[in-house]
Structure 1
Amino acid sequence: MIGRRPLLAAGAVALARPASALDLGPLALPVKQDDTVAPGYRRDVLVRWGDRVTFDAPRWTPRTPDPTAAAAQFGWDARVLGIAVPQQPAADGVPRAILAVAHPTVEAAMAFPGGQDQPAAAAAMQGVSLLNIERQAGRWVVVDGGYQSRRLGISTLCRVSGGGAVRGVLGVGGGCVTPWGTLLLAEGDPGFWQARLGGLDPAIADGSGYGFVTELNPFDPQSVPVKRRALGRFAHGDAAAALSRDGRAVVYLTDRRVGGFLFRFVSAGPATAEHALDAGTFFVARVEGDRLSWLPLPDGAGPLAAAQAAGGSPFDAPSGLGLDPMGPRLLLACHGSPARPAGHVLEFSADGGDDGGAGAAARLLFAAGNQRSPQARYGAAGLPAGSAWPENPDTVTVDARGRAWIGTNRGGRVGQQAEGLYACDLAGPDRGVPVPIYGAPRGASVGGAALTPDGETLFTAIRHPGAEPGATFDRPGTRWPEFEPGVPPRSVLAGLVRTAGGAAGG
């Protein structure tokens, strides 16, 4: 594990800062069956588990799940990946975009009556939803049955770069929209799904077609996704994409294990929508003190073994990645480890303002954990002791104004406070002070964030509400969001909007 003492010293300046300049103030996030929304904001439920994604999706029947129906519906779990904006505005002047949401997991106890696993239905409930969104009557909405709306799953035909084909995207837990106009889907560890679904298809049991980063054109519903060999095959946590100063594609990747690595891929040639990720050089990060160096790995080598041999730095379960569009700065959410169970968020500023450069300055943005870190004394930063503070940061997004949005994830474990979504300034007097905007219902986690081009709607995902340890389909920890007898809790794509209008965060 990398040591945090130098990074803690760099981040501790936030303790003496005044309250944040955000339009958000101190907010407790109590554990309860309903969610918590910051004063001055409204939470809109946009899409729920079982709602239709494609125009021909059947009605949701949770007590009799049907794999064919599930393959056209919003999945059981949810994690926001990003928003793809068309390069050319629509002829009718209506702002439109494509919102990508991953469905990483399906927990049998919560997804199926009686807790009896139904592998074919579970396979259909995972994958990715691409949703048409547009601005109507002053607000952003999901277009019901939009013509570009699409479900990717275990039946999706994919090409493999360098030759070959495979059917299915499996266990996508992260991803991003790229500057060259594509969408990257980061598949996690296929081992769990292999054991669960191997009886359905020998190709799934083999597993060699999974654990890739998959690329596709989000605007073309007929596009065939491509699994990119050059980005390595391992249990990816997340992906973030940028351009180097000379126009090459740069992709950052996390290896989401305790002691996992941070990787970077730099393409051999200029970034294009078709060939940006065909070939290039893989690097692993080594952090020493307040410096990050990128160490090149041998071409064609297995990334994990090569990173270990090269002396890459192990991190505390490196998970979410966020790139600052205001400058060459990468944020890394580390979920935590036995040594530092609450996790932290790190900041890397590329040397010379170039994501393709040899290194970066490294410092701590904040240490997570209610009472486990120096920042637990955040009363000095203008936040009273009753206000929530992040634990186990899992996702991070940086908006066009240079502000980070961090989602937490304890995997359903119920703690002293609810899981939350936090805003955090990256510069100025309030740098490194995360301020809560939203608290999830009992047993739920927060699955990422993305802002609309005008910044007025903050999309986030509320993952597996009610799925606390010991809970089941028939006895969940909550029945959010409907609270109707017999209706199971449902993961939700939500929009957070200022009631007075204007950009989220103020």
Structure 2
Amino acid sequence: MIRRRALLAAPFATPALAQPRRAALTGLALPVKQDDTVAPGFRRDPLIRWGDRVIFDAPAWNPARTDADAASAQFGWDARVVGVAAPQQQAADNIPRAILAVVHPTVDPVMAFPGGRDQPAVAAAMQGASLLNIEKQGSRWVVVDGGYQSRRLSAATLCRMTGPNPGSGSVLGVLGLGGGCVTPWGTLLLAEGDPGFWTGRLTGLDPAGFGWVVEVNPFDPQSVPAKRSALGRFPHGDVAATLARDGRAVVYLTDRRVGGFLFRFLSAGPATAEDVLDSGTLAVCRMEADRITWLPLPAGADPLAAATQAGGSPLDTPAGLGLDPTGPRLLLACHGSPVRPAGHVIEISAAGGDDGANTAAAVLLFAAGNPNSADARYGRAGLPMGSAWPENPDTVMVDSRGRAWVGTDRGGRVGPQAEGLYGVDLDGPRRGVPLPVYGAPRGASVGGAAMTPDGEAMFVAVRHPGAEPGASFDRPGTRWPAFQPGVPPRSTLIGLARQG
């Protein structure tokens, strides 16, 4: 059972990193190269890489020879940051600590295994999630090697099914986790995407056991994750959780397909109740000009079919979600579609400041792409001369000063510039103008970001470096971050902080 902790207090401390010097960012280019690019005045620290141990007894990483047991105890092949769960009380030794959650959405056999020979069982162990003990040592946050709360979730993790569609009551494994969030009541929500890629490769799996939202207690490594069927089964892109004014749980969910929907779940009871996500109302977003209406769906219905029938609005591959801790504001990153290939970010404000309200307002924060194109739009001022521009926004996080951090993902496709992490003001004269602070190495994407509990640094995931079209384990586009002959590139969690 997942025991509810008391609702978390105010947002994390005001982050110093949230106010980068504009002079350092204006005009920053993100060239395509084998190494990454860090904005002047910032420091980048590698924290954990594909194959590094998560569980204390994990064997040393050997990319030329691995097995499922080893992979299930090591950091996964791919990486996307979910968030940081901070304990309510500081430890007796006064060392700041927390749990950092990272999901491992994919495994590309061509890049993960010598000769590109698929090893489905090993790949299934490489995917899933890593829950990592982190602590502050001196002026830097580090991943605790073999921390006692550190945990791996994979295709071998026992989960329980709950809610109106419990099935057999249990299911073995989590598959294709693509996003997630830390909830105000102290748990993690991890969103399974389309399981077809995995169920077609692994034998003996019931597809009905996958495609759900998984809730887990990050502070209890022995807790059994719960798949919450009331939140619906479909190819999730991301989830974001908050509270309605009356204390009920609110969960936003994206349907990561071209023409996918934005959903909202509103619990029947308060967020302090046990299994609060097992009863409530799932609704779909209808967007008409700048107005959103939440349309309730019939209980137990297929969410996608019911959303279509109810008149939900199809979107341009809705992907990442980010809630503003300073106010009732939700950001939605739409990855793009054949009609609008570069994607965009939408800002949604709940009516009356209540996420439980039936309506909301929607405005375009920015439309991504080359600023010289007719479709791209970046605030009133536009992008600074010579600056990189975002394309295919995929992840978004909002810090406690109300600045958004947007990560881009072209899936390894090499374009005129590197994938990047962009800071975007949500208020003031530079609203809607994305300024780059980090550029990924060749073939890599940016898999989200999360602030440290003290707000002095940011965790950023660098996904699948070197995995560009035509690349392979033996001939990658880069060997970042080690640049050692024969060592494949590795997805890496980095810390990004302002120097000094």
Q: Is the shorter-chain TM-score for this pair beyond 0.5, marking a shared fold?
A: yes
Q: Deviations over 1:329-384 (max 9, x none)?
A: 01000000000000000000010000000111110000000146458586983744
How far residue 412 of structure 1 moved from its aligned partner, in angstroms, is 0.3
Structure 2 Cα separation of the partners of residues 127 and 348 of structure 1 = 30
- Residue in 2 that maps onto 1:3: none
Pair 1:168-2:173 in alignment: yes
Between 1:149-158 and 1:270-279, the stretch displaced more is 270-279
Structure 2 Cα separation of the partners of residues 441 and 404 of structure 1 = 22
Name the SS for the 1:381 alignment partner.
coil
C-alpha contact (below 8 Å) 1:250/1:266 kept by paired residues: yes
How far residue 385 of structure 1 moved from its aligned partner, in angstroms, is 3.2
Q: Quick one: structure 1 residues 119 and 273, their matched pair in 2 at CA, closer, same or farther if it must change by over 3 Å?
A: farther
- Residue in 2 that maps onto 1:100: 101
How far residue 420 of structure 1 moved from its aligned partner, in angstroms, is 0.2
C-alpha contact (below 8 Å) 1:62/1:112 kept by paired residues: yes
Structure 1 Cα separation of the partners of residues 378 and 363 of structure 2 = 19
- Residue in 2 that maps onto 1:81: 82
Name the SS for the 1:285 alignment partner.
strand
- Residue in 2 that maps onto 1:122: 123
How far residue 472 of structure 1 moved from its aligned partner, in angstroms, is 0.3
C-alpha contact (below 8 Å) 1:182/1:273 kept by paired residues: no
Alignment of 1:4-403 (within 5 A): 24-162=25-163, 163=166, 164-198=169-203, 202=204, 204=205, 206-272=206-272, 274-371=274-371, 373=373, 381=381, 383-403=383-403
- Residue in 2 that maps onto 1:13: none
- Residue in 1 that maps onto 2:16: none
Amino acid at match of 1:42: R
Q: Quick one: structure 1 residues 273 and 176, their matched pair in 2 at CA, closer, same or farther if it must change by over 3 Å?
A: farther
Between 1:88-97 and 1:396-405, the stretch displaced more is 88-97
Alignment of 1:445-464 (within 5 A): 445-464=445-464
- Residue in 1 that maps onto 2:15: none
Amino acid at match of 2:469: P
How far residue 87 of structure 1 moved from its aligned partner, in angstroms, is 1.2
Q: Quick one: structure 1 residues 156 and 279, their matched pair in 2 at CA, closer, same or farther if it must change by over 3 Å?
A: same
Runs (4+) off by over 6 Å: 377-380
Q: Deviations over 1:298-335 (max 9, x none)?
A: 11111000000000000000000000010110100000
Q: Quick one: structure 1 residues 372 and 194, their matched pair in 2 at CA, closer, same or farther if it must change by over 3 Å?
A: farther
C-alpha contact (below 8 Å) 2:321/2:331 kept by paired residues: yes
How far residue 25 of structure 1 moved from its aligned partner, in angstroms, is 2.7
- Residue in 2 that maps onto 1:10: none
How far residue 21 of structure 1 moved from its aligned partner, in angstroms, is 5.5
Amino acid at match of 2:107: V
Structure 1 Cα separation of the partners of residues 103 and 267 of structure 2 = 26
Name the SS for the 2:285 alignment partner.
strand
Q: Deviations over 1:260-310 (max 9, x none)?
A: 000000000101263220100000001111111111111111100000000
Structure 2 Cα separation of the partners of residues 273 and 23 of structure 1 = 47
C-alpha contact (below 8 Å) 2:26/2:384 kept by paired residues: no
Amino acid at match of 1:79: R
Pair 1:422-2:432 in alignment: no
How far residue 23 of structure 1 moved from its aligned partner, in angstroms, is 6.1
Q: Quick one: structure 1 residues 459 and 281, their matched pair in 2 at CA, closer, same or farther if it must change by over 3 Å?
A: same
C-alpha contact (below 8 Å) 1:215/1:226 kept by paired residues: yes
How far residue 138 of structure 1 moved from its aligned partner, in angstroms, is 1.6
Structure 2 Cα separation of the partners of residues 45 and 197 of structure 1 = 33
How far residue 208 of structure 1 moved from its aligned partner, in angstroms, is 1.1
Structure 2 Cα separation of the partners of residues 22 and 360 of structure 1 = 36
C-alpha contact (below 8 Å) 2:344/2:366 kept by paired residues: yes
Amino acid at match of 1:287: M
C-alpha contact (below 8 Å) 2:449/2:461 kept by paired residues: yes
- Residue in 2 that maps onto 1:471: 471
How far residue 453 of structure 1 moved from its aligned partner, in angstroms, is 1.7
Q: Quick one: structure 1 residues 469 and 292, their matched pair in 2 at CA, closer, same or farther if it must change by over 3 Å?
A: same
Amino acid at match of 2:114: P
C-alpha contact (below 8 Å) 1:130/1:148 kept by paired residues: yes
Amino acid at match of 1:253: L
Pair 1:444-2:444 in alignment: yes
Between 1:244-253 and 1:290-299, the stretch displaced more is 290-299
Structure 2 Cα separation of the partners of residues 432 and 453 of structure 1 = 26
Amino acid at match of 2:139: G
Structure 2 Cα separation of the partners of residues 292 and 338 of structure 1 = 24
Name the SS for the 1:249 alignment partner.
strand
Structure 1 Cα separation of the partners of residues 382 and 301 of structure 2 = 50
Name the SS for the 1:479 alignment partner.
coil
Name the SS for the 1:68 alignment partner.
helix
Amino acid at match of 1:474: D
Structure 2 Cα separation of the partners of residues 116 and 183 of structure 1 = 34
Give the unaligned 5+ runs of structure 2: 1-19
- Residue in 1 that maps onto 2:4: none
Name the SS for the 1:44 alignment partner.
strand
Structure 1 Cα separation of the partners of residues 380 and 268 of structure 2 = 48
How far residue 26 of structure 1 moved from its aligned partner, in angstroms, is 2.3
Q: How many residues align?
A: 477
Between 1:267-276 and 1:370-379, the stretch displaced more is 370-379
How far residue 152 of structure 1 moved from its aligned partner, in angstroms, is 0.5
Between 1:483-492 and 1:365-374, the stretch displaced more is 365-374
Structure 2 Cα separation of the partners of residues 214 and 170 of structure 1 = 10
Amino acid at match of 1:274: E
C-alpha contact (below 8 Å) 1:173/1:188 kept by paired residues: yes
- Residue in 2 that maps onto 1:433: 433
Structure 2 Cα separation of the partners of residues 160 and 323 of structure 1 = 27
Q: Quick one: structure 1 residues 273 and 379, their matched pair in 2 at CA, closer, same or farther if it must change by over 3 Å?
A: closer
Structure 2 Cα separation of the partners of residues 316 and 397 of structure 1 = 19
